[in-house]
């Protein structure tokens, strides 16, 4: 079985990861980047780029876990662009 076969099976079963997850994984996975975000196949011309907003309540900042939350987001592939 190839990666393409496995991907097609997951798609048929409805188990393929959502597009936003694939976009995050593609940062470190060339196969995913090529398969889903290459501009050459006509059906995949639109490269997914997303903006995600996380809002922390003032109480969370007062209690101090915001540094841990920031580290978790950065380690998960998010880029912090504003505080």
Domain boundaries defined on the chain: 1-48, 51-83
What separation in angstroms does the CA of 33 have from each of 17, 39, 62, 78?
14, 10, 40, 17
Q: Which residues contact 56 (CB under 8 A, 6 or more apart)?
A: 66, 69
For residues 45 and 39, the answer to whether their CB atoms sit within 8 Å is yes
Return the closest-CA partner of residue 35 out of 27, 80, 26.
26
pTM above 0.85, yes or no: no
**Consecutive 10-residue averages of pLDDT for the chain (83 residues):** 91 91 91 81 48 76 78 81 72
């Amino acid at each position: 079985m190839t990666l393409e076969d496995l991907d097609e099976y997951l798609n048929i079963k409805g188990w393929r990861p959502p597009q936003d997850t694939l976009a995050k994984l593609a940062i470190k996975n060339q196969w995913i980047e090529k398969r889903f975000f290459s501009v050459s196949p006509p059906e995949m011309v639109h490269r997914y780029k997303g903006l995600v907003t996380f809002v922390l309540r003032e109480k969370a900042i007062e209690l101090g876990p915001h540094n841990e939350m920031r580290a978790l987001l950065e380690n998960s592939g998010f880029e912090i662009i504003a505080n």
